[in-house]
Amino acid sequence: MKIIQIYGLNRHFDNGEERFHALRDIDLEVEKGECVILHGVSGSGKTTLLSIVAGLDQPSSGEVLVEGEAIAKLPDRHLSRFRGRHIGMIFQHYNLLEEFSVRDNVSVPLIPLGLKMDEVERRCDAAMQLANISHKARQSAGRLSGGEKQRAAIARALAADPEIVLCDEPTANLDRANARRFLEILGQLHDLGKTILIATHDPIFEELDFPVRVVEMEDGRIVR
């Protein structure tokens, strides 16, 4: 089953007279459970592509289907719900709410779902377990080390149990040891059947011990 389908996607930014093409004629299909690595130099359009898949940015033209849903056309409320349920995000800068505890951070995607408090707690615990950050549940996110922040961010991405996990430069701010631990968690996610999209130019992902598809990007195009 194809979980992500992208056909003829273009994204350009108008800057006064100039038009900058961040993505050109992208065609991409991702199978459920697949792990895809978007590889490319800085400015090649990886983040822009992830944003569009997550419905955080709109395509200029082309079609984007996620789980068969044309997400660009959904009204805000439905798109937000869809995103909350089906897509987990891991950002380059972790993007934790620094004053909040790890547990409260992990609960963020669950809040709009209208769950009972104990259900929220249960799911937070499960996600923190998986990301191996349970022991820091009560600590405020601002005081965590880089690796712990990353794992808290992973727990948050997994809290709503999404099918798709999007990672933007997940290892850029980690030392090698922590980066390898991240790879281990990715392995677990793969085993759980998650579809994973990673934007990176870090060669460490060659060490992944499960089959991945590498998509090479250059100047907003998929070259390989």
Ligand X SMILES: Nc1ncnc2c1ncn2[C@@H]1O[C@H](COP(=O)(O)OP(=O)(O)OP(=O)(O)O)[C@@H](O)[C@H]1O
Footprint of Mg ion (CB under 5 A): 47
In this structure, the number of other CB atoms found within 10 A of the CB of residue 164 comes to 22
Q: Taking the complex as a whole, how short is the minimal distance between the CB of residue 172 and other proteins, in angstroms?
A: 13
Q: Which is nearer to other proteins, 31 or 146 (CB)?
A: 146
Instruction: Give how far Cα 20 sits from Cα of 11, 147, 197, 199, 219, Å.
Output: 9, 35, 25, 21, 10
* 163/87 Cα distance (integer angstroms): 7
Q: Tell me which stretch binds other proteins (CB under 8 A): 2-10, 17-25, 105-113, 127-135.
A: 105-113
Of residues 24-83, those binding ligand X (CB under 6 A): 40, 42-48
Q: Taking the complex as a whole, how short is the minimal distance between the CB of residue 206 and other proteins, in angstroms?
A: 25
* 23/46 Cα distance (integer angstroms): 9
* 163/157 Cα distance (integer angstroms): 11
Look up residue 137 and give its DSSP letter.
Answer: T
Of residues 134-173, those binding other proteins (CB under 8 A): 156, 160, 168
Q: Taking the complex as a whole, how short is the minimal distance between the CB of residue 204 and other proteins, in angstroms?
A: 22
Binding residues for other proteins, rule: CB under 8 A, are 47, 50-51, 54, 56-57, 76-77, 79-81, 83-85, 87, 89, 91, 95, 97, 99-101, 104, 107-117, 120, 156, 160, 168
Binding residues for ligand X, rule: CB under 6 A, are 13, 20, 22, 40, 42-48, 199
